[in-house]
Chain A
């Protein structure tokens, strides 16, 4: 892997507004920019809305030396629109003449989930690792994060104190990727480190769901069974 000159962030959250995937990916991209890379960002769900937007996605991918895919875990895997985008990217790149090993663009993935344990992300990251050779990328590594919802409200730069392990992981990752090296093991470990103990995370999250139910003026109790 050569030191990249251009990096592309693919945001895989299907949410229309702010998301943890965008927050984590944007932080990494900004760090890469400070290290001299030219950067670009594409939201994958938006890129699937029209043929023109999908062509722009393909063009952005083709121009990148390094692609960062940041997405939320959906049922042990990637969200459907992210899978669709990967299917399209692999199909498009299958027609390209194969690049020499050192000339292939690199792919790094960030997967975060709402559970406190980062291990839930392992299979999804494995899917990304399988995608890399199928689409002509060199796999540069994956970062899995538990308690991902904590990064969703504000840009990571503003809440870096609470998520200092994740921030440190991304700092380390940016430095290595910019130098043409894969995600370091220390970054993987730091990213997976829970920001708060699991029992505290579960307690707070369960309270928040009930608070949100009231705020949204829910039509039924949290444990309603509308299908019988």
Chain B
């Protein structure tokens, strides 16, 4: 089990408008990460002006590793590279991510190299950096649709993202809109545990530290 203390999480919140369920999820995630001793870099993307990625590939061949466009998209990429865990929040949008979340994710391309390398049956872009980034993606669907077509597509999308990111741990969570606070907190804590985030009091590392002390 990894040491939680002083680890960094990048929280990208792609909620659209006033979304009470995602607001609860956000709060539960922030609390859970803080309880695990994680530093949280918290982004409410709705209020961030980030240009659409133009697909110019300047970040690969003009200014390698950095987007040619100067805005918060650059900051998201820089912070992402310094994070041990990516956490995405989104309303499940036709089975994918909201445009608010995706406008930031499209700017993570400079964290990859342009080279095409065979990885198993598929070709992929290698990572520019060596650091591992675990991945947790939480999406909300309308009531009664947690097992519907869009939720299934969403889980497949997160799995595809994980194949590209190659994290040591990843998890995809789906919650129905209108879920109560305790339901949200229980689900979020379970998903956090899947990516190695546990409250410090429950951490074996902490228990070991206390035993030594």
The chain A residues found within 8 Å of chain B, CB to CB, are 13-16, 19, 45, 72, 74-81, 83-84, 86-87, 90, 114-117, 119-120, 123-124, 126-128, 130-131, 134, 198-199, 201-202, 205-206, 209, 212-213, 215-228
Contact = CB atoms under 8 A, between A and B. Distances in A.
Interface residues of B, number: 52
19 contacts: A75-B108, A76-B161, A80-B53, A87-B98, A87-B99, A117-B121, A123-B95, A126-B156, A127-B157, A213-B64, A216-B58, A216-B61, A218-B63, A218-B64, A222-B64, A222-B113, A222-B114, A223-B113, A224-B64
Nearest to A87: B99
Contacts of A222: 60-61, 64, 113-115
B65 interface: yes
Contacts of A123: 95-96, 153, 156-157, 160
B193 to A, nearest CB: 25
Contacts of A13: 55
Nearest to A215: B61
Interface string B46-72: 000000111111101111111000000
Given A130-B153, A216-B62, A218-B62, A120 B122 contact: yes
B95 A127 contact: yes
Interface stretch (B30-38, B123-131, B175-183, B204-212): B123-131
Contacts of A83: 93, 96-99, 102
A225 B116 contact: no
B106 A79 contact: yes
Given A75-B105, A209-B115, 8 more contacts: A74-B53, A76-B157, A79-B55, A130-B153, A201-B116, A213-B61, A226-B64, A226-B66
Nearest to A76: B160
A223 B53 contact: no
B97 A77 contact: yes
A86 B16 CA distance: 14
B164 interface: yes
Contacts of B94: 86, 90, 127-128, 130-131, 134
A223 B96 contact: no
B95 A212 contact: no
Nearest to B131: A228
Nearest to B91: A87
B155 to A, nearest CB: 10
A3 to B, nearest CB: 27
